[in-house]
Amino acid sequence: MECALETNGLRKEYPGFTLRDVSFALPCGHIMGLIGPNGAGKTTIIKLLLNVVRRTAGEVRLFGLDSLAHEEEVKSRTGFVLDETPFYGYLRVAGAAAVIAPFYRTWDQSWFEALCREFELPLKKRVNALSRGMKMKLALAVALAHGAELILLDEPTSGLDPVFRRELLERLSGLIQDGRTSVLFSTHITSDLERVADYLTLLREGEIVFSAPREEVLEKWAVVKGGPELFEGGNAGLFRGLVRGPYGVTALTPDMEEARRRLAGRGAVIERVRLDELVFFLGREGRREKEAGRE
Amino acid sequence: MLKLLRLEYLFNLRQLLIIWAIFSFYFAWAIYRLDSPGVFIVTTSLMVGLGIPFAIVGREDKFKTAALVCSLPVRRSTVVLSKFAATWAAMLLGMGYTVFLIGVLPFSKVPLGGVLSLKNLLVSLFLMSLLFAVILPFTIRFGITGIIILLVGIQLLGILALFLAQMLGGAGNPLRTFFMAVEGGIRSLLHHPATPGYFLALAGGIVAVNLLAIFVSRALYARREL
C-alpha cells in the first residue's frame, strides 16, 4: 500500500524529554489520529514532519520522498494547521492568504474565498482580531486552498465550537474520499477520533504504545473489571494500567480474546474499550512507571 | 527567492515606513548640523546599519512567525538569503534617501560631491556590512531579546567608558583604549589615501564580511528549533 507518510526510528532529544524511536506509517487516503496525554510528544512529531525542529535521528518520508532531501517538494504537497497559528497579526485575512499563496503552484484563490465564506471568516478582518477558533479556521482554509495531499493538524479542534468541530470532522472525512488526500491530526479530544480516524497512534512519554487501524485497536483492547485475585499470578502480564478501587480492580488488556479465555466463569466483566479509557489507563501507567523510575 | 522577498516586503512595510519617518527627521537634522561628508557618512551608515537590520531581522522573532515561514515550501537557506537581500535593499534605499535629502534640502551643509565619492561610499558599505554581519547571526541565534541586550550592553559599556574616563583619566583605562581603537579605525578608514589598493582592500573586506555573515547565519538558521 502506498504511504503518504512514514517515519522510521524518529528521535528527538530535548533537555528533560526524548521522543524515542517513533515509527509509523499512514497509507494514502486515510486519517490517522495521534493521541496521548499532554507532553507525550504529539506536537513534536508534527514539527518534525514539517522540519520545523531538527530530528536527532531517524527518517521521515512523505509521499515516498525523504522530507529533508526533497523539502520543497514535500512541503508544497503538505498543508498544516499548527497549535499556535503564527500569522502576522496586523495583516488582514485576505492579506495573510496573499502572502502565502505564491508559495503554492496549486493555490486556488476562488476556493480559498469560498472556504472563508463557508467558515464565516471575514476577509477584511485583521488576523489579531480573530479568536483562536477563527485563526484555526483561517489556517485550515489556507491548508485546503492549495489542494494539499497530506494535511497535518495539531490540536485542530481545540478552541472550536461544537458545531464547527463536527463540520470540520465531516470535512476531513470528505477530503480523503478521493483516495489521494491523507490526514494526520493530533488531539486529546478522543471522541473526535472515534468519529473519523482510520488509524490510531498512541504516544506516551515520547514513545509509541501502538500504531494500528482503529478497528483493530478497538477489537483487541478491552477494559476488564473484577476482584483483585483475577489480576494476580499468571494473569498479571495480561493487564496494564491497573486501577484499584473500593469495589475491585479495573485494568486494560491488549488481548481481549485471551482475557475472555483465561477469565471465563470467574466473574470478570470485559467491555470494549473507548479511546478516552485507553489514554487514561495507559497515561496513568506511564506516569506511575516514571515515578517508580525516579524512586 | 522572489516570493520570499515579496513576503519580507509585505511583512516589514509598516515597520520600514515608521523608520523612514524617524530617519527623515534625524537625517534632516544631521544635514543641517554636519558639514563634513566623512562624519555624515559614518553617522548615517551606523544609524542605517543598526536600525534597518534590527527592524527586519528582529520582526520575525517578535511575531513568532518563523514557524510559518519554515513550514512553507522553501529551504531555510533561501529564507536567510531573502532576509539578507531584503535588508541590504532597504539599507541601500536608506542611504540613497540620505543622499536625496542632501540634494533637495536647502539648508544642507554637507557637500553632495563629497558624500558621493567612491571612498565614502565604500566606507559606508563596509560599516553597514560590519553591523549587519553582527546583527543577522546574533538575532537568529539569540532572538530579538538577545540583540536588544547586546545593543543596550554596548551603550552601557559606552557610558561606563565615559564614567571611567572621568574618574581614572585616560591612562590604563582599557575601555577607553578600546573605544579609542574603534574611533581610530574609523578615522583611518576615512583618511587613508584613496589608492586603488585601498579601494580593493575595502571592497574585498565588504565581500568577505558579507559572505561570512551569510555562511554563519545559514548554519545557525538551519539548526534553529522553532
Q: What is the pTM of this model?
A: 0.82
Work out whether the CA dihedral A280, A281, A283, A284 comes out positive or negative.
positive
| Total residue length of chain A | 295
d(CA A130, CA A94): 13
- Structure confidence at residue B172 as a pLDDT band (50, 70, 90): low
A165 and chain B: CB distance < 8 Å anywhere? Answer: no
d(CA A57, CA B128): 40
**Which of these, B28, B168, B171, B174, lies nearest to B110 by C-alpha position?**
B28
Residue B171: predicted pLDDT: 63
B85: helix, coil or strand? helix
Residue A212: predicted pLDDT: 93
Which of B103-108's residues contact partners 24+ apart within 8 Å by CB, and which partners? Answer: B105/B28, B105/B31, B105/B32, B107/B31, B107/B32, B108/B31, B108/B32
> In whole angstroms, how large is the CA radius of gyration of chain B?
19
Most A CBs within 10 Å, among B6, B12, B71, B72, to test the A interface: B71
A52 phi and psi angles, rounded to 5 deg: -80, -30
Q: Inform me whether the pLDDT recorded for A286 exceeds 80.
A: no
Closest-CA distance, A194 to chain B, in angstroms, reads 29
Closest-CA distance, B12 to chain A, in angstroms, reads 10
Closest-CA distance, B18 to chain A, in angstroms, reads 15
Instruction: Convert the pLDDT of each residue in B21-59 to its tens digit.
Output: 888 888 888 888 888 888 888 889 998 998 888 888 877
Instruction: Convert the pLDDT of each residue in A110-151 to its tens digit.
Output: 999 999 998 889 999 998 898 888 888 888 899 889 989 999
CB contact under 8 A, B65 and A86: yes
Instruction: Convert the pLDDT of each residue in A30-54 to its tens digit.
Output: 999 999 888 889 999 999 999 888 8
- Burial of A160 from C-beta contacts in 10 A (0-12 / 13-18 / 19+): buried
Which residues in chain A are closer than 8 Å to B66, comparing Cβ atoms? 86
Q: Inform me whether the pLDDT recorded for B128 exceeds 70.
A: yes
CB contact under 8 A, B67 and A73: no
CB contact under 8 A, B71 and A54: no
Work out whether the CA dihedral B165, B171, B172, B178 comes out positive or negative.
positive
Q: Inform me whether the pLDDT recorded for B187 exceeds 80.
A: yes
Closest-CA distance, B11 to chain A, in angstroms, reads 7
**Which of these, B74, A52, A160, B66, lies nearest to A43 by C-alpha position?**
A52
CB contact under 8 A, B73 and A102: no
pLDDT above 90: percentage of residues in chain A: 34
Most B CBs within 10 Å, among A12, A62, A88, A146, to test the B interface: A88
DSSP tag of A210? E
At A139, the amino acid letter reads: A
C-alpha separations of B59 from A107, B5, B8, B81, B131 in Å? 27, 14, 10, 16, 17
Mean pLDDT of chain B: 85
**Smallest CA–CA distance from B78 into chain A, residue:** A72
A3-14 and A57-62 as β-strands: parallel, antiparallel, unpaired? antiparallel
Which residues in chain A are closer than 8 Å to B222, comparing Cβ atoms? 54
